[in-house]
Amino acid sequence: MEKILKNFFLFLSKNRFFTKLAKRYGLRFGAGRFVAGETIEAAVQTIKELNDKGMSVTIDHLGEFIDSRSEAVAAAEECMEAIRAIADNKLDSQLSLKLTSMGMDIADDLVMDNMRRILDVAEEKDVFVTIDMEDFERCEKTLEIFKKLREDYDHIGTVLQSYLYRTEEDIKALNAYSPNLRLVKGAYKESAKVAFPEKKDVDENLKNIIRIHFMNGNYTAVASHDDAIIDYTKQLVAEKKIPNDRFEFQMLYGIRVDRQEELVKEGYKVRVYVPYGNDWYGYFMRRLAERPANVAFVLKGVFGK
């Protein structure tokens, strides 16, 4: 049943009709648990609250299905506004973005121009930017763009997903760029031709790439809500005597909040991924796909009032 629900919500996440409908009717049906409002002002307030609890943040202006140059340029402008808001309010926050929102599927010159404009502001304001990884189809191009930008900018990192067979080779190839990487399991539906179909193999590969990246001496963001992965990371850093300023744990806004606070009390750096914006539908559906408990929460919120 869990697998059926996951596939159902992943299917819904790619539905353009429901995406447009969700934009029209705003943050309802429980999405507010995972999304910090529709504006940068709402996001700033959320960041302040998390910073007060000792947590760092990365914010993401949500965007799905960018179809035109004007939409991509507008998304880039939103990212630059977010960077300025982080700097102006002296927030402990970074920025995350998706290359499809910057026009990657439209034109190479468009996505590169938008990224360079964003990174120019990020370097000026001393705000780090992470390029989120999307589906397998866009993985190679995302990494190629990251490599080109990394040659000119310091304030940039990206993401690798352990459910892909290719990831171990990717992490080895990226070592030449001394990358700051967020390591995750992956939240997209992929063919068994390119991704591990069994969860146990995804988990083992995540442990594998965490170890490789640590041993390469690069900054590591372990993005997981899985206690087994968190405990593995703790054991590894203790065994290898890796200092706390060389890694962090990352978790999603609204998920396992108690665990986030526990890790902070234990002295670990925790960064919360905080999305905002009115284009929240695809992100919300992927969160429902990840854990049945999230679905139960939403149903309770809708019918329990």
Residues labelled as active-site residues:
132, 182
How far is 68 from 91, CA to CA, in rounded Å? Answer: 32
At CA 184, angle to CA 197 and CA 220, rounded to 5?
145
How far is 217 from 179, CA to CA, in rounded Å? Answer: 10
Burial class (CB in 10 A: 0-12, 13-18, 19+), 136: buried
Burial class (CB in 10 A: 0-12, 13-18, 19+), 76: buried
Is 163 within 8 Å of 205 (Cβ atoms)? yes
Is 75 within 8 Å of 101 (Cβ atoms)? yes
Angle between helix 167-174 and 139-150 (nearest 10): 10
Residue 270's alpha-carbon distances to 37, 50, 93, 193, 258, in angstroms, are: 21, 10, 11, 34, 12
Sign for the CA dihedral angle at 120, 122, 128, 132 comes to negative
Q: Phi/psi zone of residue 59: left (φ > 0), alpha (ψ -120 to 50 degrees), beta? A: beta
